[in-house]
Chains A and B, each alone.
Chain A
Amino acid sequence: MRVVGDTLLVIGALFAFLGALGLVRMPDVYTRIQAGTKAVTLGALAFLLGLGFLHPGWWAKLTCIAGFILFTSPVSSSTIARALYISGVRPWQARSTPAADSDLDR
């Protein structure tokens, strides 16, 4: 039981780390939203499931936290993406001229 829980804990933390790494490495705001939402949400759910294996008595609160993260993380990231798109941030293109979107040049 403890080995399964620890393995899920490591998997969840690894996905959270990879999401944060994608947050640093991605070239654009939208790709950063994608990297920082999907990977970190999956990592959070795996982490909470592993902690449920380690502490079976905490399953009610862990299920509350997992369900809340599962519902609110996509909502908040899509709200951010919609706000950015409305406020005029254009998506990054790989082969764009530097003068056309120098405000997005990173």
Chain B
Amino acid sequence: MKPNLLEIAAFTLLGAALLLGLLRMVLGPKAPDRVVAADTLSVITAISIVALAYVTQNPLYLDVALVYAVLAFVAIVAIARAVEGNRS
């Protein structure tokens, strides 16, 4: 398929959002900032995979996006538990 101007603008905005989240992840002063950046980046990455499914016209990427969202949620909760510390 051939994306029109609005779709190119939307995908460019998604790429810019990914770059900004990656910027916060690189220069986050401490570990909590990086965890928060990872939380936001996981949602934006799932949406980008859905956009990839639309660009390639392949609905298999929707399953990939769903599984990615599930695994990212589990990973974020595990990291948050690790940050919380050894509290019984």
Instruction: Please determine whether A24 and B23 come into contact, CB atoms closer than 8 angstroms.
Output: yes
Instruction: Please determine whether B54 and A55 come into contact, CB atoms closer than 8 angstroms.
Output: yes
Instruction: Please determine whether B43 and A41 come into contact, CB atoms closer than 8 angstroms.
Output: yes
Contacts A16-B14, A61-B66, A84-B32 given; does A9 touch B7 at CB 8 Å: yes
Instruction: Please determine whether B44 and A40 come into contact, CB atoms closer than 8 angstroms.
Output: yes
Contacts A6-B7, A24-B24, A40-B43 given; does A79 touch B50 at CB 8 Å: no
Q: Bin the interface of chain A by size.
A: 35 or more
A83 to B39, CA, bound (A): 14
B-side interface residues, number (CB < 8 Å): 48
Provide the main secondary structure of the chain B interface: helix
In chain A, positions 64-94 with a C-beta closer than 8 Å to chain B are 64-65, 68-69, 72-73, 75-77, 79-80, 82-84, 86-87, 89
Nearest neighbor of B54 in chain A, beta-carbon distance: A51
Instruction: Please determine whether B16 and A20 come into contact, CB atoms closer than 8 angstroms.
Output: yes
For this complex, 21 residue pairs linking A to B, each with C-beta atoms less than 8 Å apart, are A6-B6, A10-B10, A13-B11, A13-B12, A13-B13, A19-B44, A20-B17, A20-B18, A32-B24, A33-B39, A36-B21, A37-B39, A47-B50, A48-B47, A58-B53, A65-B50, A65-B62, A69-B69, A72-B69, A75-B73, A87-B83
- Interface residues of B, Cβ cutoff 8 Å to A: 4, 6-7, 9-14, 16-18, 20-21, 23-24, 29, 32-33, 35-37, 39-40, 43-44, 46-47, 50-51, 53-54, 59, 62-63, 65-66, 69-70, 73, 76-77, 80-81, 83-85, 87
